[in-house]
Amino acid sequence: MNESEKNTEQRREERVAMPHKGGRTTVIILATVLTVVIVIAAAFATGILSLGSQEESVTLTGAGATFPMPLILKWADEYYNETDGRVQINYGGGGSGAGITQIKEKQVDFAGSDAPLSSSDSSSYGLVHIPETLGAVVVAYNLPGISTLKLDGDTIAKIFMKNITAWNDPAIAAFNPGITLPSNDIATVVRSDSSGTTFVFSGYLAIVSNTFDATYGQGKTVAWPSGTIAQAGNSGVAQAVQGTSYSVGYIELSYALANAMPFAQVKNQAGNFITASLETTAAAAAAAVPTLPAGDGDWSHVNVLNAPGENSYPIASFTYILIYKELYSDQTKMNKTAAKELVNFLWWAVHEKGQSYADDLDYAPLPATVVTLNEETLRMITYQGEPVL
């Protein structure tokens, strides 16, 4: 072999050898990378590492009572911020009756109701009651030039039955000496929808007036006499009273205060004329708290209407969140994450942070004994038979 042929053969060997050496290096690098990937994957699988920013987002849907709606909407905003936007809560109102219907049909994750469920509904549907706050129903009025008014329960009942039809009726005048009442007819404004506020108000009238009880009774809907103005929601009644001179209607306290509407002082069981407030609402609830049932028990007879006590406002009520005791359902397909977040939200709402928003919206925070009762109820909630908390 001459010199030229030797050089050619040497270059050929170099070209063959170099890829082989590089190939060994590549194999080692790939094996190392694969090992690292396996280790990292195992760490995620066992929870040693996690992607916190990748937590599952959840949207929860509720509907029902407009009585607590300002507070529920405030909770929704604050809880959205508490969870860094991960949990969104939509609450559509519509009235207690609509909320109860939707939760029975499993169209929503939770319902708001001022009226407790009947005993048969509680047992048949597997729903639990979670008292969320306390509120008062007030008798708001539109009397030009008159900023204070006193009424008793029997007189209020007669006004809404249209047995008293003029503002200067002797029964009204007797409670309001020194006030020149107009002779104008009284326009009564009521709810047109199935309403927990109506349930509370009519329940009070049924307690204080045998005639009202026998003729109309307590209900989420009432067959009010002809000539009554009917509007949907607390806001609808409030707007109608504001827009109709010489009118009177029943609305939740927070709606009256938010709209700077005057409302009557109401004579309580002790004989005192009481202005609805956080303090007088809480006083009314105090007598009822020791007798409350378990969350999955029968709440159909629970009320704080016409409560004893010198300072008790007589038209007060708990308002409730209704959820299923077993949150898994083939119909709703709620997943475990959503179930957990629903219970977490309710736990937050009934404790100090959530209740701290009640005062500013003119709801009475829950007594400590009711918070404890709610804790016991929330610990009952299961998903596929396993406790959520």
Is 90 exceeded by the pLDDT of residue 355? yes
| Residue bearing the bigger pLDDT, 42 or 141 | 141
Residue 2: other Cβ atoms inside 10 A:
6
* Per-chain mean pLDDT for the chain: 88
Residue 290: per-residue pLDDT: 75
**203-240 tens-digit pLDDT:** 999 999 999 999 999 999 999 999 999 999 999 999 99
Question: Minimal CA–CA distance to 136: which of 364, 316, 288, 320?
Answer: 316
Transcribe 152-189 into DSSP letters: -HHHHHHHHTTSS-BTT-HHHHHHSTT-----PBPEEE
Dist. CA 6–CA 8, nearest whole Å: 5
Domain spans, the chain: 15-45, 59-134+320-387, 137-286
Is 60 exceeded by the pLDDT of residue 384? yes
Dist. CA 327–CA 267, nearest whole Å: 44
**Three-state SS string across 236-277, please?**
HHHHHHHHCCCEEEEEEHHHHHHCCCCECEEECCCCCEECCC
**15-41 tens-digit pLDDT:** 433 333 344 444 343 344 444 444 444
What is the CATH number that goes with domain 137-286? 3.40.190.10
Is residue 108 within 8 Å of 323, Cβ to Cβ?
no
Task: Please state the rounded mean pLDDT for residues 309-335.
Answer: 93
- pLDDT tier, 312 (very low <50, low <70, confident <90, very high otherwise): very high
Residue 122: per-residue pLDDT: 84
Strand-pair partners of 319: 133
Is 70 exceeded by the pLDDT of residue 246? yes
Residue 7: per-residue pLDDT: 47
Fold of 59-134+320-387: D-Maltodextrin-Binding Protein; domain 2 (3.40.190)
Gap between the terminal Cα atoms of the chain: 87
Residue 1: per-residue pLDDT: 52
Is 70 exceeded by the pLDDT of residue 112? yes
Task: Please state the rounded mean pLDDT for residues 257-285.
Answer: 95
Residue 54: per-residue pLDDT: 57
Q: Do domains 59-134+320-387 and 137-286 have the same CATH topology?
A: yes
Is 50 exceeded by the pLDDT of residue 339? yes
Residue 346: other Cβ atoms inside 10 A:
22
Percent of all residues in the chain with a pLDDT value above 70, rounded to a whole number: 86
- Give the 3-state secondary structure of residue 300: coil
Residue 61: per-residue pLDDT: 97
Residue 86: per-residue pLDDT: 96
Q: Classify the C-alpha dihedral 69-73-78-82 as positive or negative.
A: positive
**59-89 tens-digit pLDDT:** 999 999 998 999 999 999 999 999 999 999 9
